[in-house]
Amino acid sequence: MERHRIRDLRGTLLALTAAAGLLLTGCGAGDGGNSSADNSSYPTGRPAPAPGYTDGGSTGGTGEQKNGDDSESREVAPAPDYLSTFALDVDTASYGYARRTLADGHLPDPTTVRPEEFVNSFRQDYDRPDGNGFSVSVDGARTDREDWSLVRVGLATRPAADRGERPPAALTFVIDISGSMAEPGRLDLAKESLGVMTDRLRDDDSVAIVTFSDEAERVLPMTRLGDNRDEIHDAIDSLEPTDSTNLGAGVETGYETAEDGLREGATNRVVLVSDALANTGDTDADTILERIASERREHGITLFGVGVGSDYGDALMERLADKGDGHTAYVSSSEDGREVFCEDLPRNIDLTARDAKAQIAFDPSTVSEFRLIGYDNRQVADEDFRDDSVDGGEVGPGHTVTALYAVRTKPGTEGHLATASVRWLDPSTRAPHEESGRLESGSLKDSVWSASTRFQVTATAAYFADALRLGDDRWSALPGSAHLGELAERAEGLASRTEDKDVRGLADAIHQASRLTGRD
């Protein structure tokens, strides 16, 4: 993951001949910039060319730009320092693993804390689009630090369809049966969850099972559910922990099995269930990742990583999922397992968007500096925003993606603050589409804690992640941050108001961290 590096402020704004579109340029995985020139704590990336920018345009689901009023159009583009671009990410594993670690009486390693995965672990209040693609919501609230606000960019896809309306699925489960998986809450939990999931998949879905320890073995070839559920249950029940962890062999055999069982018109996916503690065979992440990348490009096979265990190779699992155009989740209880395998996976087998990227342009006349909170390894070069060969993120129906920014406004200025845009490819036709939304300074709430309830949940999750990373001097505190005791009280109030079990879990986790740090 590349961290924001400091960009040199460029002297002039680039002139454009027409302002007929909304702002859209460069988002990508590389060195895209996420901070302005005077934010010395955060690095940036390479310079970008000027985007086509208009203050008033928006993009429809067809990808055709709608012209705004000419009187509102800007004849110049923001300097590259005012663009922030990244690939979308719906991972939640970092938050799940942090909760598990705190419940075990330990603080998580700051390097495993990814704020965007904390933020994206909670239900949001965004409007949903009527059809395929995304809606874009942008709102914000002022913090108690002078001139600093939190700005929330929310992207949402249409609700998930009923089970009968989605395409069939061809799922290859690659299951770690190494000795470390014998720990309670690892292989036993995976078997229980897979068993329940098998009963909930449709008859026209298919399942294959590959196991790995010191070697990989194909336990079950791609098999239609139909009348074969008993056979699939027997294969799951037979899994027992054995020796060491040859993760590379497991991934390779898993993708070979998925390729052999590839189904046209179906969602083909590898589901890796592991503690990701590779110690035998090919343990080089780059070699394993290249295998995943080639299968993604050639066959469109995506990866879903499910992490388990108190000792967990978080960084490797996340990199595998990113390279495999998928996402990660972490499972530590039967409830987690049922939600991930029996609800999330079957419901979101379908894809709404491939290679989805977001770009936010901050207005240099009103914004002096900004910082994207998290997404450190999902940055995309600004000039690659419309380059559809550049990898983005895969997003399914019913998902929301949230990006939170710390934004410093220029004293006394009013007007346009930012325009947020998302670009994605249709999963079937690979036709590109774009959509956008904007934020005005007058729309900022007076305080984070007087904003909407879900905005407050978002802020609380981000502040919590920020507090857990304070031991790492690569990051400085967010504006408006509170000590853990105060944050726990905020979370308690939000849990009561929302009656949301996930927000209640957040409050419990903050209390645990507060006790461990003595920061009540």
Q: Where are the domains of the chain?
A: 85-161+353-517, 169-348
Q: Give the total residue count for the chain.
A: 520
Q: What percent of the chain has pLDDT over 90?
A: 56
User: Residues near 413 by Cβ (< 8 Å), separated by ≥ 6?
Assistant: 365, 366, 441
Q: Which of 197, 137, 153, 145 is closest to 173 using CA atoms?
A: 197
Q: Are 406 and 4 in contact (CB under 8 A)?
A: no
Helix pair angle (484-498, 453-468), 10° resolution: 150
The CATH code for residues 169-348 is 3.40.50.410
Average pLDDT, the chain: 82
Per-residue pLDDT, 13 = 33
d(CA 182, CA 244): 11
Of 47 and 118, which is predicted with more confidence? 118
Strand, helix or coil at 419? strand
Per-residue pLDDT, 36 = 43
Residue 421 scores a pLDDT above 90:
yes
Per-residue pLDDT, 278 = 76
Confidence band, pLDDT 50/70/90 cuts, at residue 520:
low
Q: What percent of the chain has pLDDT over 70?
A: 82
SS3 per residue for 175-190: EECCHHHHCCCCHHHH
Of 180-184, 298-302, 366-370, the range with the highest mean pLDDT is 366-370
d(CA 513, CA 510): 5
Task: For the beta carbon of residue 40, count every other beta carbon within 10 angstroms.
Answer: 10
Of 510 and 473, which is predicted with more confidence? 510
pLDDT in tens, 366-385: 999 999 999 998 999 999 99
Residue 329 scores a pLDDT above 50:
yes
SS3 per residue for 89-141: CCCCHHHHHHHHHHHCCCCCCHHHCCHHHHHCCCCCCCCCCCCCCEEEEEEEE
Residue 44 scores a pLDDT above 50:
no
Q: What angle do CA 176, 178, 181 make, to 5 degrees?
A: 75
Of 276 and 145, which is predicted with more confidence? 145
Confidence band, pLDDT 50/70/90 cuts, at residue 518:
confident
pLDDT in tens, 62-78: 333 333 333 333 334 44
The secondary structure of 145-213 as a DSSP string is STTEEEEEEEEEEPPPPPGGGSPPEEEEEEEE-SGGGGSTTSHHHHHHHHHHHHHHS-TT-EEEEEEES
Name the CATH topology of 85-161+353-517. Immunoglobulin-like (2.60.40)
Q: Where are the alpha helices (DSSP H) in 282-375?
A: 285-299, 314-323, 334-337, 345-347
pLDDT in tens, 78-98: 454 799 999 998 899 999 999
Structure-token match 């410093």, residue found: 408
d(CA 429, CA 425): 8
Q: Are 97 and 108 in contact (CB under 8 A)?
A: yes
Produce one character per residue of 148-185: b if its CB has 16 or more CB atoms within 10 Å, e if not: bbbbbbbbbbbebeeeeebbbbbbbbbbbbbebbebeb
N- to C-terminal Cα separation, the chain: 32
d(CA 440, CA 334): 45
Structure-token match 């800007």, residue found: 74
Both structure tokens of 299: 């066959």
Of 352 and 37, which is predicted with more confidence? 352
pLDDT in tens, 223-235: 999 999 999 999 9
